[in-house]
Amino acid sequence: MQYKRILLKLSGEALMGKRQYGIDPDRLAEYADEIKSVLDKGVEVAIVIGGGNIFRGVAGASRGMDRVQGDHMGMLATVINGLALQSALEEAGIQTRLQSAIKINEVAEPFIRRRAIRHLEKGRVVIFGGGTGNPYFTTDSAAVLRAIEINADVILKGTRVDGIYTSDPEKDSKAVKFDFISFEDVLQKGLKVMDTTAFTLSQENELPIIVFDMNKQGNLLKVVEGENIGTTVNL
């Protein structure tokens, strides 16, 4: 295996499958199978998931809602998604722990770094919910922060696109895909990989990012095995 410990970042929208909103149980089951294939190879897996399929704080603020209130609602949405993913993983026979940055002791453990690392060492999947626990920070920032805290080898950003392009491939048929690109080139070209805070934090801590198509069966395992899948962002 190319990596021993990974942080998998999933968007909330990814859980919608073919639906317009909410959670698609079939998509959850597919993701559980993908994650199990990696665990079976002895790789330690942590996950950060967004909440955009339920609520997005920025969107709420644009409609007149208080931004802090909206972000707190978004954090709760990530916990809901975390519970759904936890259920799917456990249905597949995978031991899982959900840790939240905001205290919801009845449904999730509080985030404690040493406990999270211990869970990973025991072969459990750890899902980090609640973002960073603070408004104005995205789940991308939460993913990078948690990856650094648990000493992950890489951030794997699972999307519906198979990498980073010169422009949006869903809108521009002439968009060109990068196999490898440096942090500096991403910034200079103005490419959207993560929000600036998250991306800069990853760059400063020399934490590579791989953007790949999570919806294609077998891709997650191929990435962990070191195949040239998606786009790798590194120094």
Surface-to-core class of residue 182, CB atoms within 10 Å of its CB (0-12 exposed, 13-18 middle, 19+ buried): middle
Alpha-helix residue ranges (DSSP H) falling in 92-195? 113-121, 139-149, 183-189
CATH class of the domain comprising 5-234: alpha beta
Q: Binding site for ATP: which residues?
A: 9-12, 52, 56, 159, 165, 168
Q: Distance (Å, rounded) from C-alpha 115 to C-alpha 13?
A: 29
Question: Could you state, in order of their start, the residue ranges of all structural domains in the chain?
Answer: 5-234
* Rounded average pLDDT over 13-32: 91
What confidence score (pLDDT) does residue 57 get? 63
Q: Distance (Å, rounded) from C-alpha 139 to C-alpha 56?
A: 11
Band of pLDDT at residue 76, cut at 50, 70 and 90: very high
Q: Binding site for UMP: which residues?
A: 51, 71, 132-139
pLDDT digits (tens, 9 = 90+) for 116-136: 999 999 999 999 999 999 999
pTM across the whole model: 0.94
What confidence score (pLDDT) does residue 78 get? 96
Q: Binding site: which residues?
A: 9-12, 51-52, 56, 71, 132-139, 159, 165, 168
Q: Which of 20-24, 113-117, 159-163 has the highest mean pLDDT?
A: 113-117
pLDDT digits (tens, 9 = 90+) for 167-201: 888 888 899 999 999 999 999 999 989 999 999 99
Q: Distance (Å, rounded) from C-alpha 101 to C-alpha 145?
A: 12
